[in-house]
Amino acid sequence: LRAEPGSRTMSRPRSFVPASALLLLICAQLCRAPMAGELRCQCVETTSEVIHPKLIAQVELIPEGPHCDVAEVIATTKHGRQVCLDPTAPWVKLIIKKILNRYLPKGNPNPRFGSLID
């Protein structure tokens, strides 16, 4: 079907597709959040310095797996700062053990976290 000369047809401007693709690319880079299946370690470096337990708001335990060869322990302070803790440090092992004892059923330890308290 051809439009009659002088009649109006609805069509997208030719620059619409490249401009949309560019906008999507920019948004993907600016709005990029770590994906759940991203295969890399969260911690680039760790610290074994003692952080007073009263300053810690949350502790995240990430067992080793396909994403990372080592178990990771990430503490979030009450000021919102995230710190990667050395899972081999004695004080970190103590915290991990207390957390696992509190939240895992007695006599049924989760094997995924075994390397964190060995």
The whole-model pTM stands at 0.59
Which residue in 105, 2, 97, 111 sits closest to 63, CA to CA? 111
User: Within the chain, how many helices (H) and strands (E) appear?
Assistant: 3, 3
CA neighbours within 13 Å on the CB side: how many for 37?
0
- Structure tokens belonging to residue 102: 């509190």
**19, pLDDT greater than 60:** no
Q: Give me the domains of the chain, ranges plus CATH numbers.
A: 53-111 (2.40.50.40)
Which residue bears the tokens 């952080």? 51
Close Cβ partners of 2 (under 8 Å, ≥ 6 residues apart): none
Apex 33 CA angle, 85 and 72, nearest 5: 20
**21, pLDDT greater than 80:** no
| Residue 89 pLDDT | 94
Longest dimension (CA), the chain: 83
Which one is predicted more confidently, 36 or 103?
103
**16, pLDDT greater than 60:** no
Coil, helix or strand at residue 82: strand
Q: For residue range 28-77, list pLDDT tens digits in order.
A: 444 444 455 566 888 989 999 999 989 999 999 888 888 888 889 999 99
